[in-house]
Chain A
Amino acid sequence: MKVQIDPERCQGHGRCYDLSPDLFTEDDEGYGQVAGDGVVPAGGERAARVAASNCPEKAIVLVEEA
Protein backbone atom coordinates (compact mmCIF):
# COMPACT_ATOMS: atom_id res chain seq x y z
CA MET A 1 0.00 0.00 0.00
CA LYS A 2 1.07 3.57 -0.72
CA VAL A 3 -0.24 6.84 0.67
CA GLN A 4 -0.59 10.04 -1.34
CA ILE A 5 -1.91 13.51 -0.53
CA ASP A 6 -3.92 15.43 -3.07
CA PRO A 7 -2.39 18.92 -2.71
CA GLU A 8 -5.48 20.48 -4.32
CA ARG A 9 -7.61 19.21 -1.45
CA CYS A 10 -5.23 19.44 1.53
CA GLN A 11 -5.92 22.53 3.67
CA GLY A 12 -3.47 21.82 6.48
CA HIS A 13 -5.85 20.44 9.11
CA GLY A 14 -2.98 18.14 10.09
CA ARG A 15 -5.07 15.13 11.09
CA CYS A 16 -2.78 12.84 9.09
CA TYR A 17 0.44 13.84 10.83
CA ASP A 18 -1.34 14.01 14.20
CA LEU A 19 -2.68 10.47 13.90
CA SER A 20 -0.04 8.73 11.78
CA PRO A 21 3.25 10.58 12.25
CA ASP A 22 5.24 7.70 10.78
CA LEU A 23 3.54 8.15 7.43
CA PHE A 24 2.98 11.91 7.27
CA THR A 25 4.74 15.13 8.22
CA GLU A 26 3.95 18.84 7.91
CA ASP A 27 5.56 21.38 5.63
CA ASP A 28 6.54 24.91 6.69
CA GLU A 29 2.97 26.12 6.25
CA GLY A 30 1.29 23.21 8.00
CA TYR A 31 0.17 21.33 4.90
CA GLY A 32 0.46 17.56 5.05
CA GLN A 33 3.39 15.82 3.37
CA VAL A 34 3.95 12.15 2.72
CA ALA A 35 6.98 10.95 4.69
CA GLY A 36 9.56 9.37 2.40
CA ASP A 37 8.25 7.57 -0.66
CA GLY A 38 4.80 6.92 0.80
CA VAL A 39 5.18 3.16 0.84
CA VAL A 40 3.36 1.88 3.91
CA PRO A 41 5.57 -0.52 5.87
CA ALA A 42 4.21 -3.90 6.92
CA GLY A 43 1.83 -3.37 9.82
CA GLY A 44 1.23 0.30 8.94
CA GLU A 45 -1.95 -0.25 6.90
CA ARG A 46 -4.19 0.52 9.82
CA ALA A 47 -2.42 3.83 10.52
CA ALA A 48 -2.81 4.74 6.85
CA ARG A 49 -6.54 3.98 6.94
CA VAL A 50 -7.04 5.93 10.18
CA ALA A 51 -5.37 8.99 8.65
CA ALA A 52 -7.39 8.74 5.45
CA SER A 53 -10.70 8.28 7.23
CA ASN A 54 -10.12 11.29 9.49
CA CYS A 55 -9.07 13.82 6.87
CA PRO A 56 -11.85 16.42 6.76
CA GLU A 57 -10.97 17.28 3.16
CA LYS A 58 -10.70 13.66 1.95
CA ALA A 59 -7.27 14.58 0.61
CA ILE A 60 -5.54 11.27 1.37
CA VAL A 61 -5.42 8.63 -1.31
CA LEU A 62 -4.58 5.03 -0.46
CA VAL A 63 -3.15 3.11 -3.38
CA GLU A 64 -3.53 -0.62 -2.88
CA GLU A 65 -0.83 -2.47 -4.72
CA ALA A 66 -1.77 -5.51 -6.74
Chain B
Amino acid sequence: MTVDDRFVRDFREGQEEPLGTRNEIITGPVSDWATDFSHVEPEWAADPYPIQDDLRGRCPIAHTERFGGGWLPTRYEDVAAIAYDTEHFSSRAIIMSNYRPPRDIAPVGAVPPISSDPPFHHDARKLLLPAFTKKEVAKREEAARAFCHSLIDGFEGAEIVDAARDYAQHIPMRVMADMLGFPPEDGPRFREFVEHALEGVNLPPEQRVANMGELFDYLLEQIRDHVADPRDDLTTYLIDAELYGRKLEPSHVAGTMALLLIAGIDTTWSAIGASLWHLAKTPADRERLVAEPGLLPTAMEEFLRAYAPVTMARLVKDDMHWRGVDMKADDWVLLSFPAANRDPAQFDRADEVIIDREINRHAAFGLGIHRCVGSHLARMELRVALEVWLERVPVFGLADPSTVTWAPGQVRGPRTLSLRIG
Protein backbone atom coordinates (compact mmCIF):
# COMPACT_ATOMS: atom_id res chain seq x y z
CA MET B 1 0.00 0.00 0.00
CA THR B 2 1.37 3.38 -0.93
CA VAL B 3 1.44 6.23 1.51
CA ASP B 4 -1.23 8.84 0.90
CA ASP B 5 0.90 11.92 0.30
CA ARG B 6 -1.76 14.03 -1.39
CA PHE B 7 -2.07 16.31 1.62
CA VAL B 8 1.56 16.60 2.73
CA ARG B 9 1.99 19.66 0.58
CA ASP B 10 -0.68 22.34 0.79
CA PHE B 11 -2.68 21.69 -2.37
CA ARG B 12 -3.10 25.44 -2.83
CA GLU B 13 0.64 26.06 -3.18
CA GLY B 14 1.79 26.74 -6.70
CA GLN B 15 -1.79 27.28 -7.81
CA GLU B 16 -2.21 30.57 -9.49
CA GLU B 17 -4.76 32.84 -7.92
CA PRO B 18 -7.81 32.05 -10.05
CA LEU B 19 -8.46 34.86 -12.45
CA GLY B 20 -12.18 35.18 -12.56
CA THR B 21 -13.98 38.51 -12.70
CA ARG B 22 -14.25 41.08 -9.95
CA ASN B 23 -16.60 44.00 -10.06
CA GLU B 24 -17.33 47.16 -8.15
CA ILE B 25 -18.95 46.67 -4.74
CA ILE B 26 -22.22 48.60 -4.55
CA THR B 27 -23.91 48.93 -1.17
CA GLY B 28 -26.55 51.16 0.38
CA PRO B 29 -30.32 51.48 0.28
CA VAL B 30 -32.11 49.98 -2.70
CA SER B 31 -33.81 52.58 -4.94
CA ASP B 32 -36.28 50.24 -6.67
CA TRP B 33 -36.39 46.51 -5.97
CA ALA B 34 -37.33 45.79 -9.61
CA THR B 35 -34.14 47.32 -10.99
CA ASP B 36 -31.70 47.54 -8.07
CA PHE B 37 -32.37 44.55 -5.78
CA SER B 38 -29.88 43.42 -3.17
CA HIS B 39 -30.32 40.41 -0.91
CA VAL B 40 -27.73 41.69 1.56
CA GLU B 41 -29.35 44.99 2.53
CA PRO B 42 -31.04 45.21 5.97
CA GLU B 43 -34.55 45.72 4.56
CA TRP B 44 -34.37 42.37 2.75
CA ALA B 45 -32.89 40.58 5.76
CA ALA B 46 -35.59 41.94 8.07
CA ASP B 47 -38.55 40.90 5.89
CA PRO B 48 -38.06 39.86 2.26
CA TYR B 49 -41.59 38.52 1.71
CA PRO B 50 -43.45 41.79 1.00
CA ILE B 51 -40.65 42.71 -1.43
CA GLN B 52 -40.94 39.36 -3.20
CA ASP B 53 -44.74 39.54 -3.32
CA ASP B 54 -44.60 43.04 -4.77
CA LEU B 55 -42.10 41.97 -7.43
CA ARG B 56 -44.10 38.87 -8.36
CA GLY B 57 -47.03 41.14 -9.13
CA ARG B 58 -45.29 43.89 -11.09
CA CYS B 59 -41.91 42.61 -12.30
CA PRO B 60 -41.58 38.86 -11.86
CA ILE B 61 -37.98 38.73 -13.06
CA ALA B 62 -36.31 41.67 -11.31
CA HIS B 63 -32.87 42.98 -12.21
CA THR B 64 -29.91 44.59 -10.47
CA GLU B 65 -26.69 46.20 -11.60
CA ARG B 66 -25.14 45.29 -8.26
CA PHE B 67 -22.84 42.25 -8.03
CA GLY B 68 -21.90 42.85 -11.67
CA GLY B 69 -25.49 42.26 -12.82
CA GLY B 70 -28.13 39.73 -11.92
CA TRP B 71 -31.75 38.61 -12.03
CA LEU B 72 -34.30 37.65 -9.40
CA PRO B 73 -37.24 35.50 -10.49
CA THR B 74 -40.04 35.37 -7.91
CA ARG B 75 -42.59 33.06 -9.57
CA TYR B 76 -42.50 29.38 -8.73
CA GLU B 77 -42.61 28.37 -12.40
CA ASP B 78 -39.55 30.48 -13.25
CA VAL B 79 -37.53 29.30 -10.24
CA ALA B 80 -38.39 25.68 -11.10
CA ALA B 81 -37.52 26.13 -14.78
CA ILE B 82 -34.07 27.51 -13.91
CA ALA B 83 -33.41 24.80 -11.33
CA TYR B 84 -34.15 22.17 -14.00
CA ASP B 85 -32.25 23.89 -16.81
CA THR B 86 -28.58 23.00 -16.33
CA GLU B 87 -27.97 23.60 -20.03
CA HIS B 88 -28.42 27.37 -19.82
CA PHE B 89 -27.62 27.99 -16.14
CA SER B 90 -24.39 26.92 -14.45
CA SER B 91 -23.72 26.18 -10.78
CA ARG B 92 -20.02 27.07 -11.04
CA ALA B 93 -20.78 29.78 -8.49
CA ILE B 94 -23.73 29.49 -6.14
CA ILE B 95 -23.17 32.48 -3.85
CA MET B 96 -24.04 35.78 -5.54
CA SER B 97 -21.12 38.05 -4.75
CA ASN B 98 -18.77 40.47 -6.47
CA TYR B 99 -16.54 37.72 -7.79
CA ARG B 100 -17.21 35.22 -10.55
CA PRO B 101 -14.84 32.28 -10.77
CA PRO B 102 -13.35 31.60 -14.21
CA ARG B 103 -15.36 29.51 -16.65
CA ASP B 104 -12.82 26.70 -16.67
CA ILE B 105 -13.57 25.93 -13.01
CA ALA B 106 -16.69 24.18 -14.37
CA PRO B 107 -17.87 21.44 -14.28
CA VAL B 108 -16.30 20.68 -10.86
CA GLY B 109 -16.41 24.10 -9.16
CA ALA B 110 -14.83 24.99 -5.83
CA VAL B 111 -17.18 23.04 -3.56
CA PRO B 112 -18.45 19.92 -5.36
CA PRO B 113 -21.12 18.73 -5.91
CA ILE B 114 -23.16 21.90 -5.21
CA SER B 115 -20.85 23.89 -7.48
CA SER B 116 -20.74 21.19 -10.16
CA ASP B 117 -22.50 20.89 -13.49
CA PRO B 118 -23.40 17.71 -15.39
CA PRO B 119 -21.99 15.24 -16.08
CA PHE B 120 -19.40 15.49 -13.27
CA HIS B 121 -22.08 16.56 -10.81
CA HIS B 122 -23.81 13.18 -10.83
CA ASP B 123 -20.67 11.25 -9.96
CA ALA B 124 -19.52 13.61 -7.20
CA ARG B 125 -23.01 13.61 -5.67
CA LYS B 126 -23.28 9.83 -5.80
CA LEU B 127 -20.30 9.63 -3.43
CA LEU B 128 -22.27 11.50 -0.76
CA LEU B 129 -25.78 10.12 -1.09
CA PRO B 130 -25.38 6.86 0.91
CA ALA B 131 -24.24 8.76 4.02
CA PHE B 132 -27.31 11.01 3.94
CA THR B 133 -30.24 8.64 3.45
CA LYS B 134 -33.12 8.75 5.90
CA LYS B 135 -32.11 5.34 7.27
CA GLU B 136 -28.50 6.41 7.74
CA VAL B 137 -29.27 9.74 9.46
CA ALA B 138 -31.76 8.02 11.77
CA LYS B 139 -28.73 6.49 13.51
CA ARG B 140 -27.85 9.99 14.75
CA GLU B 141 -31.27 10.78 16.18
CA GLU B 142 -30.68 9.48 19.69
CA ALA B 143 -27.48 11.51 20.13
CA ALA B 144 -29.13 14.61 18.65
CA ARG B 145 -32.06 14.26 21.05
CA ALA B 146 -29.79 13.88 24.07
CA PHE B 147 -27.82 16.93 22.96
CA CYS B 148 -31.02 19.03 22.60
CA HIS B 149 -32.02 18.00 26.13
CA SER B 150 -28.59 19.03 27.43
CA LEU B 151 -28.98 22.48 25.84
CA ILE B 152 -32.35 22.93 27.55
CA ASP B 153 -30.90 21.68 30.84
CA GLY B 154 -28.58 24.68 30.49
CA PHE B 155 -31.59 27.05 30.62
CA GLU B 156 -32.21 26.10 34.26
CA GLY B 157 -33.35 29.17 36.17
CA ALA B 158 -33.37 31.52 33.16
CA GLU B 159 -36.49 33.53 32.31
CA ILE B 160 -35.22 34.72 28.96
CA VAL B 161 -33.03 32.73 26.58
CA ASP B 162 -31.72 33.36 23.08
CA ALA B 163 -33.17 30.45 21.12
CA ALA B 164 -30.97 31.16 18.09
CA ARG B 165 -27.68 31.55 19.94
CA ASP B 166 -28.23 29.16 22.86
CA TYR B 167 -30.22 26.42 21.10
CA ALA B 168 -30.72 26.39 17.32
CA GLN B 169 -27.13 27.04 16.22
CA HIS B 170 -25.58 24.37 18.42
CA ILE B 171 -27.63 21.46 17.11
CA PRO B 172 -26.36 21.33 13.50
CA MET B 173 -22.88 22.37 14.66
CA ARG B 174 -22.68 19.33 16.90
CA VAL B 175 -24.18 17.00 14.30
CA MET B 176 -21.82 18.17 11.54
CA ALA B 177 -18.78 18.04 13.83
CA ASP B 178 -19.71 14.43 14.65
CA MET B 179 -20.28 13.48 11.02
CA LEU B 180 -17.04 15.05 9.79
CA GLY B 181 -15.04 13.95 12.83
CA PHE B 182 -14.07 17.48 13.93
CA PRO B 183 -13.57 18.47 17.58
CA PRO B 184 -16.99 19.48 18.97
CA GLU B 185 -15.42 22.42 20.82
CA ASP B 186 -14.60 24.06 17.46
CA GLY B 187 -18.22 25.27 17.15
CA PRO B 188 -17.36 28.97 17.47
CA ARG B 189 -14.92 28.64 14.57
CA PHE B 190 -17.64 27.03 12.43
CA ARG B 191 -19.85 30.04 13.10
CA GLU B 192 -17.09 32.33 11.88
CA PHE B 193 -16.61 30.26 8.71
CA VAL B 194 -20.35 30.33 8.01
CA GLU B 195 -20.59 34.09 8.46
CA HIS B 196 -17.58 34.67 6.26
CA ALA B 197 -18.83 32.48 3.44
CA LEU B 198 -22.44 33.58 3.36
CA GLU B 199 -22.77 37.00 4.93
CA GLY B 200 -19.51 38.64 3.90
CA VAL B 201 -20.30 38.83 0.19
CA ASN B 202 -19.78 42.60 0.00
CA LEU B 203 -16.45 42.62 1.84
CA PRO B 204 -13.36 43.69 -0.13
CA PRO B 205 -12.02 40.80 -2.26
CA GLU B 206 -8.73 40.56 -0.33
CA GLN B 207 -10.71 40.09 2.87
CA ARG B 208 -12.90 37.39 1.32
CA VAL B 209 -9.85 35.54 0.01
CA ALA B 210 -8.22 35.71 3.46
CA ASN B 211 -11.42 34.47 5.13
CA MET B 212 -11.76 31.50 2.79
CA GLY B 213 -8.05 30.82 3.34
CA GLU B 214 -8.71 30.41 7.07
CA LEU B 215 -11.48 27.89 6.39
CA PHE B 216 -9.27 25.83 4.10
CA ASP B 217 -6.34 26.04 6.56
CA TYR B 218 -8.63 24.52 9.16
CA LEU B 219 -9.87 21.81 6.80
CA LEU B 220 -6.34 20.87 5.75
CA GLU B 221 -5.41 20.53 9.41
CA GLN B 222 -8.37 18.17 9.93
CA ILE B 223 -7.56 16.20 6.78
CA ARG B 224 -3.93 15.68 7.84
CA ASP B 225 -5.09 14.56 11.26
CA HIS B 226 -7.38 11.99 9.62
CA VAL B 227 -4.68 10.79 7.20
CA ALA B 228 -2.51 10.06 10.24
CA ASP B 229 -5.37 8.61 12.25
CA PRO B 230 -8.25 7.34 10.07
CA ARG B 231 -11.68 7.18 11.69
CA ASP B 232 -15.22 6.14 10.85
CA ASP B 233 -16.40 9.55 9.69
CA LEU B 234 -17.01 11.54 6.52
CA THR B 235 -13.53 13.05 6.45
CA THR B 236 -11.83 9.66 6.30
CA TYR B 237 -14.53 8.51 3.86
CA LEU B 238 -13.72 11.38 1.48
CA ILE B 239 -9.97 10.86 1.84
CA ASP B 240 -10.44 7.20 0.83
CA ALA B 241 -13.16 7.76 -1.79
CA GLU B 242 -12.45 7.07 -5.44
CA LEU B 243 -13.88 8.49 -8.61
CA TYR B 244 -13.02 7.14 -12.08
CA GLY B 245 -10.60 4.65 -10.49
CA ARG B 246 -8.55 7.27 -8.64
CA LYS B 247 -8.56 8.94 -5.25
CA LEU B 248 -10.14 12.39 -5.30
CA GLU B 249 -8.15 15.52 -6.03
CA PRO B 250 -7.10 17.18 -2.76
CA SER B 251 -9.11 20.27 -3.70
CA HIS B 252 -12.19 18.07 -4.18
CA VAL B 253 -11.83 16.50 -0.73
CA ALA B 254 -11.40 19.89 0.95
CA GLY B 255 -14.09 21.56 -1.18
CA THR B 256 -16.70 18.95 -0.31
CA MET B 257 -15.79 19.21 3.37
CA ALA B 258 -16.19 22.99 3.16
CA LEU B 259 -19.60 22.50 1.59
CA LEU B 260 -20.79 20.04 4.24
CA LEU B 261 -19.56 22.25 7.06
CA ILE B 262 -21.07 25.50 5.76
CA ALA B 263 -24.28 24.16 4.22
CA GLY B 264 -24.87 21.71 7.04
CA ILE B 265 -24.91 24.30 9.78
CA ASP B 266 -26.36 27.64 8.80
CA THR B 267 -29.35 26.19 6.99
CA THR B 268 -30.67 23.95 9.77
CA TRP B 269 -29.85 26.53 12.42
CA SER B 270 -32.02 28.95 10.43
CA ALA B 271 -34.89 26.47 10.00
CA ILE B 272 -35.00 25.63 13.72
CA GLY B 273 -34.82 29.31 14.66
CA ALA B 274 -37.51 30.42 12.20
CA SER B 275 -39.86 27.67 13.39
CA LEU B 276 -39.41 28.69 17.04
CA TRP B 277 -39.86 32.35 16.08
CA HIS B 278 -43.17 31.52 14.39
CA LEU B 279 -44.41 29.52 17.38
CA ALA B 280 -43.29 32.23 19.80
CA LYS B 281 -45.37 34.86 18.02
CA THR B 282 -48.34 32.59 17.22
CA PRO B 283 -49.71 31.17 20.49
CA ALA B 284 -52.58 29.33 18.76
CA ASP B 285 -50.16 27.28 16.64
CA ARG B 286 -47.88 26.67 19.62
CA GLU B 287 -50.74 25.47 21.81
CA ARG B 288 -52.11 23.24 19.07
CA LEU B 289 -48.72 21.58 18.46
CA VAL B 290 -48.21 20.99 22.18
CA ALA B 291 -51.65 19.38 22.34
CA GLU B 292 -51.25 17.42 19.08
CA PRO B 293 -47.60 16.38 18.75
CA GLY B 294 -48.57 14.10 15.85
CA LEU B 295 -49.10 17.21 13.75
CA LEU B 296 -45.44 18.20 13.96
CA PRO B 297 -44.26 16.50 10.72
CA THR B 298 -46.92 18.39 8.76
CA ALA B 299 -46.32 21.67 10.61
CA MET B 300 -42.60 21.38 10.01
CA GLU B 301 -43.09 21.18 6.27
CA GLU B 302 -45.18 24.34 6.46
CA PHE B 303 -42.42 26.14 8.36
CA LEU B 304 -39.98 24.96 5.69
CA ARG B 305 -42.29 26.31 2.99
CA ALA B 306 -43.09 29.65 4.58
CA TYR B 307 -39.62 30.36 6.02
CA ALA B 308 -37.41 28.43 3.58
CA PRO B 309 -33.91 29.44 4.68
CA VAL B 310 -32.00 28.80 1.50
CA THR B 311 -31.65 30.78 -1.72
CA MET B 312 -29.21 29.49 -4.33
CA ALA B 313 -27.56 31.25 -7.26
CA ARG B 314 -26.69 30.33 -10.81
CA LEU B 315 -24.66 31.97 -13.58
CA VAL B 316 -26.13 32.42 -17.05
CA LYS B 317 -24.02 30.43 -19.51
CA ASP B 318 -24.56 32.45 -22.70
CA ASP B 319 -26.44 35.55 -23.80
CA MET B 320 -30.09 34.68 -24.29
CA HIS B 321 -33.61 36.00 -24.29
CA TRP B 322 -35.36 34.18 -21.44
CA ARG B 323 -39.04 34.59 -20.61
CA GLY B 324 -39.12 38.25 -21.58
CA VAL B 325 -35.72 39.45 -20.35
CA ASP B 326 -32.31 39.71 -22.00
CA MET B 327 -29.87 37.74 -19.93
CA LYS B 328 -26.16 38.14 -20.60
CA ALA B 329 -23.46 35.53 -20.19
CA ASP B 330 -22.24 35.49 -16.56
CA ASP B 331 -25.24 37.38 -15.20
CA TRP B 332 -26.22 36.05 -11.80
CA VAL B 333 -29.60 34.49 -11.15
CA LEU B 334 -30.68 34.56 -7.53
CA LEU B 335 -32.72 31.39 -7.27
CA SER B 336 -35.15 32.22 -4.50
CA PHE B 337 -36.82 29.08 -3.21
CA PRO B 338 -38.42 31.24 -0.48
CA ALA B 339 -40.11 33.40 -3.14
CA ALA B 340 -41.22 30.33 -5.12
CA ASN B 341 -42.72 28.89 -1.95
CA ARG B 342 -44.99 31.90 -1.52
CA ASP B 343 -46.28 32.09 -5.08
CA PRO B 344 -50.12 32.10 -4.96
CA ALA B 345 -50.16 30.46 -8.39
CA GLN B 346 -48.62 27.37 -6.76
CA PHE B 347 -50.00 27.41 -3.19
CA ASP B 348 -53.44 28.20 -1.80
CA ARG B 349 -53.31 30.96 0.80
CA ALA B 350 -49.59 31.19 0.04
CA ASP B 351 -48.99 34.06 2.47
CA GLU B 352 -50.53 32.25 5.45
CA VAL B 353 -48.82 29.72 7.70
CA ILE B 354 -51.23 26.77 7.92
CA ILE B 355 -49.71 24.12 10.17
CA ASP B 356 -52.03 21.35 8.96
CA ARG B 357 -51.53 22.09 5.25
CA GLU B 358 -51.93 18.69 3.67
CA ILE B 359 -50.68 19.36 0.16
CA ASN B 360 -47.32 21.04 0.33
CA ARG B 361 -45.12 20.62 -2.70
CA HIS B 362 -42.62 23.20 -1.48
CA ALA B 363 -39.14 23.73 -2.84
CA ALA B 364 -37.27 24.51 0.39
CA PHE B 365 -34.64 21.88 -0.43
CA GLY B 366 -34.43 22.88 -4.07
CA LEU B 367 -35.65 21.14 -7.19
CA GLY B 368 -33.90 19.00 -9.77
CA ILE B 369 -30.43 17.50 -9.67
CA HIS B 370 -29.13 19.75 -6.88
CA ARG B 371 -31.79 18.74 -4.32
CA CYS B 372 -30.20 19.35 -0.91
CA VAL B 373 -28.11 16.27 -0.20
CA GLY B 374 -28.64 16.83 3.53
CA SER B 375 -32.42 17.19 3.44
CA HIS B 376 -33.07 14.00 5.41
CA LEU B 377 -30.52 15.05 8.01
CA ALA B 378 -32.01 18.55 8.23
CA ARG B 379 -35.52 17.16 8.66
CA MET B 380 -34.36 14.84 11.43
CA GLU B 381 -32.59 17.68 13.26
CA LEU B 382 -35.51 20.07 12.85
CA ARG B 383 -38.04 17.51 14.08
CA VAL B 384 -35.96 16.47 17.09
CA ALA B 385 -35.13 20.09 17.97
CA LEU B 386 -38.81 21.07 17.92
CA GLU B 387 -40.01 17.90 19.70
CA VAL B 388 -37.58 18.39 22.56
CA TRP B 389 -38.26 22.12 22.80
CA LEU B 390 -42.07 21.72 22.85
CA GLU B 391 -41.84 18.90 25.39
CA ARG B 392 -39.54 20.82 27.73
CA VAL B 393 -40.65 24.41 27.08
CA PRO B 394 -44.31 24.25 26.05
CA VAL B 395 -45.00 27.87 27.02
CA PHE B 396 -42.89 30.62 25.46
CA GLY B 397 -43.17 33.91 23.63
CA LEU B 398 -41.07 36.67 22.10
CA ALA B 399 -39.37 38.64 24.86
CA ASP B 400 -39.15 41.73 22.64
CA PRO B 401 -40.01 41.47 18.94
CA SER B 402 -37.87 44.51 18.14
CA THR B 403 -34.66 42.73 19.15
CA VAL B 404 -35.03 39.78 16.75
CA THR B 405 -32.32 39.91 14.08
CA TRP B 406 -32.07 37.92 10.85
CA ALA B 407 -29.04 36.81 8.86
CA PRO B 408 -28.67 38.69 5.59
CA GLY B 409 -27.74 36.98 2.36
CA GLN B 410 -28.68 33.66 0.86
CA VAL B 411 -29.32 31.74 4.07
CA ARG B 412 -31.87 33.55 6.18
CA GLY B 413 -32.86 32.75 9.73
CA PRO B 414 -32.94 34.37 13.16
CA ARG B 415 -29.54 35.21 14.63
CA THR B 416 -30.91 36.81 17.82
CA LEU B 417 -34.15 35.39 19.18
CA SER B 418 -34.89 36.32 22.77
CA LEU B 419 -37.69 34.18 24.14
CA ARG B 420 -39.42 34.44 27.49
CA ILE B 421 -39.61 30.89 28.87
CA GLY B 422 -40.18 31.46 32.57
Contact = CB atoms under 8 A, between A and B. Distances in A.
A26 B129 CA distance: 12
Contact of B134 (A17, A53, A54): A17
Interface stretch (B226-234, B355-363, B403-411): B355-363
A62 interface: no
A30 B379 CA distance: 14
28 contacts: A11-B367, A11-B368, A11-B371, A12-B129, A12-B371, A13-B371, A13-B375, A14-B134, A17-B134, A18-B297, A18-B379, A26-B133, A28-B129, A28-B130, A30-B129, A30-B134, A50-B358, A53-B359, A54-B301, A54-B359, A54-B360, A55-B361, A56-B362, A56-B363, A56-B365, A56-B371, A57-B368, A58-B361
Contacts of A56: 361-363, 365, 367, 371
A65 interface: no
Contacts of B376: 14, 30
Interface string B27-66: 0000000000000000000000000000000000000000
A13 B135 CA distance: 13
A29 interface: yes
B126 interface: yes
Contact of B133 (A18, A28, A54, A58): A28
B389 interface: no
A57 B362 CA distance: 10
Nearest to B297: A18
Contacts of B297: 18
Nearest to B359: A53
A17 B369 CA distance: 19
Interface string A24-56: 001011100000000000000000001001111
A57 B367 contact: yes
A11 B359 contact: no
B218 interface: no
B117 to A, nearest CB: 16
B365 A26 contact: no
Contacts, number: 50
Which of B135, B361, B365 has the largest number of chain A CB atoms within 10 A? Answer: B361
Which of A12, A26, A29, A50 has the largest number of chain B CB atoms within 10 A? Answer: A12
Contact of A26 (B135, B362, B369): B135
Given A13-B375, A53-B359, A30 B368 contact: no
Contacts of B396: none
B381 to A, nearest CB: 15
Interface in B108-136: 126, 129-130, 132-135
A61 to B, nearest CB: 15
A51 to B, nearest CB: 11
Interface string B364-397: 0101110100011001000000000000000000
B361 A30 contact: no
Given A13-B365, A26-B135, A56-B362, 19 more contacts: A11-B368, A11-B369, A11-B371, A12-B129, A13-B371, A14-B375, A18-B379, A26-B133, A28-B130, A29-B126, A30-B129, A30-B133, A30-B376, A50-B358, A50-B359, A53-B358, A53-B359, A54-B359, A57-B367
8 A-B pairs closest in CB distance: A29-B129, A11-B371, A30-B133, A53-B359, A56-B361, A14-B134, A30-B129, A28-B130
A28 B131 CA distance: 9
B342 to A, nearest CB: 15
A56 B301 CA distance: 12
Contacts of A28: 129-130, 133
A29 B379 CA distance: 17
Nearest to B135: A26
Given A11-B371, A13-B371, A56-B367, A30 B132 contact: yes
B20 to A, nearest CB: 30
